[in-house]
Amino acid sequence: ELKVEQNPLFLSMQEGKNYTIYCNYSTTSDRLYWYRQDPGKSLESLFVLLSNGAVKQEGRLMASLDTKARLSTLHITAAVHDLSATYFCAVDMQGAGSYQLTFGKGTKLSVIP
Amino acid sequence: NAGVMQNPRHLVRRRGQEARLRCSPMKGHSHVYWYRQLPEEGLKFMVYLQKENIIDESGMPKERFSAEFPKEGPSILRIQQVVRGDSAAYFCASSTGWGLETQYFGPGTRLLVL
């Protein structure tokens, strides 16, 4: 059974600071996704990482993937209040032609002025 | 281009009633996924459908839950004889299904069972 673990689960940080969220997964997969969810809202796709060593950046967020270590990171640079949300990583299970995503429990980020 | 649409957005049912949740995928998408999210949890996969076919239902509870995606019309997730433990947010996602495609999520239906 594929397991996806995120840490930390809760993160409170001051504006302007940097921090990293970690996502570990238990079986081989070459595809990892990061989503953002605001309270009471749906999931917004942030990044799709498709191969070992992939790095993608959008604004103050940068995601990377190390498939050998089965680890992805989401790095936040100079946090601002608008980044407060819950961030999920998800891994693709490609068995039997199904593309179901297995999600971590999420990291709830609060950026404090 | 409208995104994934779900309705209703909120649904209240009493124990024992039936709940029907609808999902219209994005235009051009023929693959639909249903996920359930309990409070303070990540999403859990339930079922993956293409038009008129269930591809993977490994996440569906064995009883009371069913899903369909007919040739015409939205995908429907049906929960019979709801219980309090069914209270959750149910999200639908869609993709083209071809190659390495991101799943795009709808706004969700929040089901409350009294």
pLDDT tens, position by position, A61-84:
999 999 889 999 999 999 999 999
Is the CB of residue A106 less than 8 Å from the CB of residue A43? no
How far the first Cα of chain A sits from its last, in Å, is 41
Count CB neighbours of B87 within 10 A: 16
- For A29-51, the pLDDT digits (tens) are 768 999 999 988 889 999 999 88
Place of tokens 């936040």: A76
Residues of chain B predicted below pLDDT 50: none
d(CA A113, CA B94): 37
pLDDT at A14: 94
Please tell me chain A's helix, strand, coil percentages from 3-state DSSP, rounded to the nearest 5.
5, 55, 40
Nearest-by-Cβ selection for B91 from A4, A42, A100: A42
Q: Is A99 or A63 the better-scoring residue by pLDDT?
A: A63
DSSP assignment letter at B21: E
| CA distances from residue A8 to A2, A63, A106 in whole angstroms, order as listed | 19, 16, 9
User: To the nearest whole percent, how much of chain B has pLDDT over 70?
Assistant: 96
Handedness of CA B55, B60, B64, B65 (dihedral sign): negative
| Residue B12 structure tokens | 């209240």
A90 pLDDT higher than 60: yes
Strand, helix or coil for residue A56: strand
Nearest-by-Cβ selection for B102 from A48, A88, A104: A48
Q: CA-nearest residue of chain A to B34?
A: A100
Is the CB of residue B75 less than 8 Å from the CB of residue B6? no
Letter for the amino acid at A45? Answer: S
d(CA B37, CA B12): 16
pLDDT level of residue A97 (50, 70, 90 thresholds): low
Contacts of the segment A54-59: beta carbons below 8 A, 24+ positions apart: none
pLDDT at A27: 80
Letter for the amino acid at A101? Answer: L
pLDDT at B1: 53
B42 to chain A: which residues are within 8 Å by CB?
Answer: 4, 88, 90, 103-106
B107: region left, alpha or beta (phi > 0 left; psi from -120 to 50 alpha)? alpha
- What average pLDDT does chain A have? 90
Q: Are strands A61-66 and A71-76 parallel, antiparallel or unpaired?
A: antiparallel
| CA distances from residue B59 to A7, A28, A63, B98 in whole angstroms, order as listed | 25, 20, 28, 22
Nearest-by-Cβ selection for B102 from A45, A98, A106: A45
pLDDT at A96: 47
B107 to chain A: which residues are within 8 Å by CB?
Answer: 41-42
A102 to chain B: which residues are within 8 Å by CB?
Answer: 45
